Chains A and B, each alone.
Chain A
């Protein structure tokens, strides 16, 4: 398939840039993990933050570092390496743009982080108006987005070169998937760029006094939902196209994988209202429409589940497994590159179930703004996605640094995966139940005047602190593994696994690479879902809001 034109190894010059991204990602994981632990301890009621540090400040640090920095840096590093491996070494020009992107993102991160540390920006990672941060925080966020566009541009350049050099051929699967994700990210981040540049920055600079809250939230969620798919699709890249190779099996269907990615591109963006179901000022008919579009995402999700089960079953049967579930036992459970992402895949079952509940209009009223939601995305992002990223790290980091994953590290990695799973079962499980009892998210410890309802929540908060402590242990193990693989593991060759399709004669239809068509449908769906409600919001806008600072200064 693709292998005749590509090298088996990522060029060391590309590897260096990917590693630069991973250093930032793992620093973010370390600091963010510490904040997460502190949050659970505070919420248990047994611990208070010292030195005047404020809960919402550390919550902002946690959300920004975990939700925005860890994810974006890891994803850009991984996709950059995956394209180099499958579509060929990046050109010097593409690599230069990639480096500029990396530094712009890093500088932006430092700017935003500084403002949060100075207590000038405890606005949480969603920076919802009318909470108002220092303008340097918003400018830093803008830099992160612009830097990611440059990183994306480098990937697109190399993909475009491959297409020019291989006319009429479908691009390598991993490159195709990475480009879908990059394109989705660029289209989506236009929304957050618009609210930051045209609303939040002028407002925080004092050029205008008020902000239209509904418009800014709508632009944010136009970005915010595809954001979560931007996290998820790299994990799907691993599940569809890498895991089959690791277990020694085949990709069930190359075309099915591409089709599901295209469906994610189409249906991830015109759906932001499902985060605004309780928001006044949006006509319910448009909420209904966007909820329907949201449910369309179930189709590619179930396609993914089917094809992963099928890959596993076919592999197991080829090893002689029989019976309905015999194949399950023969999977390579002793290989961390498989087992840790597998825990992530399995976690996506309850995670997805929770998502369908969240998006159902009436049931959203049961869980909206409760800690259930936090429990939900610690399964999706902080388990499915993050454990898959860890699983990628186990082979990609040694591949890039010319080292190997030793037996001992492999063992530690499997322990790490299970520690994470157990910690998350406690933390996320307790969050789900506390949420169903009405416990709010984004709130420090309070007994609300010893109200009976708030008293019911306390055991669950203690369970979250237990889970959070176990998870923090998982983070320490992961840092040990990362540092080992980056600096200390023995020199050698670690494979970058790239799966092959079961049926090599089944050539992916070229229509999948027709970007005019897919971008056209994407744009049409977005315009359809957003134009009229957006005009309505602007024409019937309430008076704007001044900024609020709900937290104290140092």
Chain B
């Protein structure tokens, strides 16, 4: 059972309270959203003009 113990320790103890992983992920999502909306209107433009 030594293996399982090692695992749980890792998950809870190492997560640093100053981590900004979620922030990084959030700004990536934001960036992707901006690109997707921009491209969709851009293709609408190409389609029309």
Measured CB to CB, the residues of A under 8 A from B are 302, 305-306, 309-310, 313-314, 316-318, 322-328, 349-350, 352-354, 356-357, 360, 362-363, 365-367, 436
Is B38 within 8 A of A356, CB to CB? yes
How far does the Cβ of A313 sit from chain B's closest Cβ, in whole Å?
Answer: 5
Is A436 within 8 A of B44, CB to CB? yes
Which residues of B, 14-39, contact A by the 8 Å Cβ criterion?
15, 17-23, 25-27, 30, 33-34, 37-38
Partner of A302, one of B12, B27, B45: B27
In the complex where A317-B17, A357-B37 touch, is A363 in contact with B26 (Cβ < 8 A)?
no
Docked complex Cα distance between A327 and B17 (Å) = 11
Is B34 within 8 A of A325, CB to CB? no
In the complex where A322-B12, A357-B38, A357-B41 touch, is A362 in contact with B49 (Cβ < 8 A)?
yes
Is B21 within 8 A of A318, CB to CB? no
In the complex where A363-B41, A366-B41 touch, is A349 in contact with B48 (Cβ < 8 A)?
no
Is B18 within 8 A of A314, CB to CB? yes
**CB neighbours of A302 from chain B (8 A):** 27, 30
**CB neighbours of B17 from chain A (8 A):** 314, 317-318
**Given A302-B30, A362-B45, A363-B38; 19 other pairs, CB 8 A cutoff:** A302-B27, A305-B27, A309-B22, A309-B27, A310-B23, A313-B21, A314-B20, A317-B19, A322-B15, A323-B22, A325-B25, A353-B37, A356-B38, A360-B42, A363-B42, A365-B45, A366-B41, A366-B44, A366-B45
How far does the Cβ of B15 sit from chain A's closest Cβ, in whole Å?
Answer: 5
What's the dominant secondary structure at chain B's contact region?
A: helix
What's the dominant secondary structure at chain A's contact region?
A: helix
**CB neighbours of A360 from chain B (8 A):** 38, 42
Is B23 within 8 A of A353, CB to CB? no
Which chain A residue shows the least CB distance to B12?
A: A322
Partner of A366, one of B19, B20, B37, B48: B48
Docked complex Cα distance between A298 and B17 (Å) = 29
Which chain B residue shows the least CB distance to A366?
A: B45
Docked complex Cα distance between A354 and B49 (Å) = 20
How far does the Cβ of A278 sit from chain B's closest Cβ, in whole Å?
Answer: 13
**CB neighbours of A305 from chain B (8 A):** 26-27, 30
**CB neighbours of A354 from chain B (8 A):** 37
Docked complex Cα distance between A302 and B33 (Å) = 13
Which chain B residue shows the least CB distance to A364?
A: B45
Is A365 within 8 A of B49, CB to CB? yes
Partner of A324, one of B12, B22, B37, B42: B22
Docked complex Cα distance between A313 and B16 (Å) = 12
Docked complex Cα distance between A363 and B26 (Å) = 27
How far does the Cβ of A433 sit from chain B's closest Cβ, in whole Å?
Answer: 12
Which chain A residue shows the least CB distance to B16?
A: A317
**CB neighbours of A357 from chain B (8 A):** 37-38, 41
Is A325 within 8 A of B22, CB to CB? yes
In the complex where A313-B20, A349-B33 touch, is A324 in contact with B25 (Cβ < 8 A)?
yes
Docked complex Cα distance between A302 and B32 (Å) = 13
In the complex where A317-B18, A324-B21, A353-B34 touch, is A436 in contact with B26 (Cβ < 8 A)?
no
Measured CB to CB, the residues of B under 8 A from A are 12, 15, 17-23, 25-27, 30, 33-34, 37-38, 41-42, 44-45, 48-49
How far does the Cβ of A376 sit from chain B's closest Cβ, in whole Å?
Answer: 12
**CB neighbours of B27 from chain A (8 A):** 302, 305-306, 309
Partner of B23, one of A313, A356, A362, A366: A313
How far does the Cβ of A239 sit from chain B's closest Cβ, in whole Å?
Answer: 15
Partner of A436, one of B20, B21, B41, B49: B41
**CB neighbours of A328 from chain B (8 A):** 22
Docked complex Cα distance between A314 and B16 (Å) = 10
How far does the Cβ of B41 sit from chain A's closest Cβ, in whole Å?
Answer: 5
Is A353 within 8 A of B38, CB to CB? yes
Docked complex Cα distance between A356 and B26 (Å) = 19
Which chain B residue shows the least CB distance to A318?
A: B17
Which chain B residue shows the least CB distance to A316?
A: B22
**CB neighbours of B15 from chain A (8 A):** 322
**CB neighbours of B23 from chain A (8 A):** 306, 309-310, 313
Which chain B residue shows the least CB distance to A352?
A: B34
Docked complex Cα distance between A354 and B27 (Å) = 17
How far does the Cβ of B33 sit from chain A's closest Cβ, in whole Å?
Answer: 6
Which chain B residue shows the least CB distance to A326?
A: B22
Is B38 within 8 A of A327, CB to CB? no
Docked complex Cα distance between A353 and B41 (Å) = 11
Docked complex Cα distance between A349 and B31 (Å) = 10
Is A310 within 8 A of B45, CB to CB? no
How far does the Cβ of B38 sit from chain A's closest Cβ, in whole Å?
Answer: 6
Which chain B residue shows the least CB distance to A307?
A: B23
Which chain A residue shows the least CB distance to B25?
A: A324
**CB neighbours of A322 from chain B (8 A):** 12, 15
**CB neighbours of A314 from chain B (8 A):** 17-18, 20
Which chain A residue shows the least CB distance to B36?
A: A353
Docked complex Cα distance between A302 and B12 (Å) = 31
Q: List 21 contacting pairs A-B, 8 Å CB cutoff, sorted by A.
A: A302-B30, A305-B26, A306-B27, A309-B27, A310-B23, A313-B20, A314-B17, A314-B20, A317-B18, A317-B19, A325-B25, A349-B30, A350-B37, A353-B34, A354-B37, A357-B37, A362-B42, A363-B38, A365-B45, A366-B41, A367-B41
Which chain B residue shows the least CB distance to A327?
A: B22
